[in-house]
Amino acid sequence: MLPEGIYKRRKNHNNTPPTVLLVITNCIVLALLTQLFTGCNSINNFFWGALAILALYNVYTIRRNPDEYTWLNGIIYVVSIGMMILLFFYFQNQPHNC
């Protein structure tokens, strides 16, 4: 038999930490922007504008939830940003079908 309060513990099933949501959002947006707005020889200006908006969203999310960003979560966030930058340059240097 299941305990009585098992389904009351997870209010609306939204217990994913904001740090994880921010990293996932960054990865998805960067992947879509790279696919849509980078070409064989140049990068569209809209890519840089959308990346600036994503940076503002990151600042807003971190300022909204300062208690969630401990030193460990901060290190994970910085490492994820570094990995996305490395992946961007890796995919830019791959041969394209133009």
**Residue/partner pairs of 8-17 with CB below 8 Å, 24 or more apart:** 17/68, 17/73
> Residue range 55-59: average pLDDT?
89
Provide the residue ranges of all domains of the chain, joining segments of one domain with +.
16-92
- pTM for the model: 0.73
User: For residues 92 and 98, what is the distance between their CA atoms, to the nearest angstrom?
Assistant: 13
Q: What is the distance between the alpha carbons of residues 84 and 11, in angstroms, rounded to a whole number? A: 32
pLDDT digits (tens, 9 = 90+) for 4-36: 666 665 555 566 778 888 889 898 998 888 888
Phi, psi of 97 (to 5 degrees): -95, 90
* pLDDT of residue 77 exceeding 80: yes
Model pLDDT, residue 37? 83
pLDDT-based confidence at residue 93 (cuts at 50, 70, 90):
confident
Q: What is the pLDDT of residues 30-53, one digit of tens each?
A: 888 888 888 777 788 898 899 899
Who wins on pLDDT, 58 or 14?
58
